Structure 1
């Protein structure tokens, strides 16, 4: 992956640590609740859930729920644990995310998840799907406990949108006629929708005005778009440590992502034939073909332009926070965007 130009370079200190520090005490409560609600008398359920829950994810989405609630004043003056709506919704968001990972790995036939064998490789596809369903059920049970009908509506709508995105991805998978517009719709549904909802329920709990609710929803949506586009680029120019999976997995699985769409659109007749053969027809998918594909991505500036789009979405996310006064929470949310973008450097 080519180095960013000087005017595109993010500040080197971009870090998610300020966000982690701000919500640490609440995240401890979220983690306790996660462990409690992942329990079951059916032995395989906590085994599978614990495998993924303990696999090293940063839990960015629940941290965003906590930070968005805190920035709007919810729970910041509590002296006891009676105020726990943000804790429960943060846990619900993480369970929704974990469930989608379990389901995704089955659909994508993935062998690795966050640097470890995926649950489907250890327990099989059936267990992965059913444990994912259990986690979704638990998420909605806890949402109901919070008592906010609007927050429940936001997260339940997100669950439907994510499922629609999964089906849409199936319909565009291994189809070299997929347009940029179609692919961005997949991203908005599969990834950005949960980011958006995770941020939106915070100000809803806090009773914030509509401008703040919409601002944080937009922030989450644009951060989610940026996050996924960075992942798409990293698959062809990152590291297994940064990705939590093997570099080139998207290529090997035939996932048509934005870099591939751009390279195909800009390529010669011979290039288009190559992309159709390996991505659509799934022929000659070798390490040599991956190397050749990465050469085409570089020649057509497909990776760099994917990164540019990610940076634009990141800028839009930061701009959405303009309605809020400066605070430690606002600064941490800005840093979170810059951290996500900086993964590509």
Structure 2
């Protein structure tokens, strides 16, 4: 089963109040770490895509969207990523057919779908330097999940926000936040699922907010990716839905909204799947996210399908990012 966020993260009750002194300490340490960081500037601009809360916010589809926008504008992007779930000790380039157990699930998915070089490593500046060494033609770097990695200098910051993950608005461990909500007022653009709470939207000042929706395409058979099936074909049918992502509920709700009867199977984020995880007593199609599919393809049953999604982001977002790259910080 998926590891559940503590229930008290969604309200400011007694448990949160008791833990708040630790949150103050966490915040003080985070501020000190940020002040002491000596950001390394690279010879090409860096765009950081990240968030301020624990849990999934949809960063991977945003990175895919951003790389496509940069490429369409004539840029030659590359990606650096932490490589969560992998075993890389130093830095390494990720091939399109990389092993998720070695390189991490999200980097392998990005390498397979973005058609640009990608290097993983805990040391983000070292990963970026290696990327430029291997691919000197790269003229912009996208840092996946890098907002709190202040050693890597950045020219543009994009925060991806899912209001459902902001909880009680408190820092760890009293709440789900890695940085205070006020941090969002410092970024160049906020990309949001749904509508931000009025108080948060007001606190952003002039930072533009662009709405995002994740739209699904046709299902792809894990064993034969060229074989597809429209989601509509499963309307009214019972399906097993498998999700080892930050917010499995989003995947389940998307399928239910399409009229499927969903048997929910949540797993922890970056879960290492094994064949027994997909051995269900009830015979029914098995649907999973693209991030999980890269880890299950080798042993998936015949009736197992990937549901790829792409980010559809409000107009003006790409233009703002490209303008920032060309002319420096834009007005809001």
TM norm structure 2: 0.27
Higher strand share: 2
Higher helix share: 1
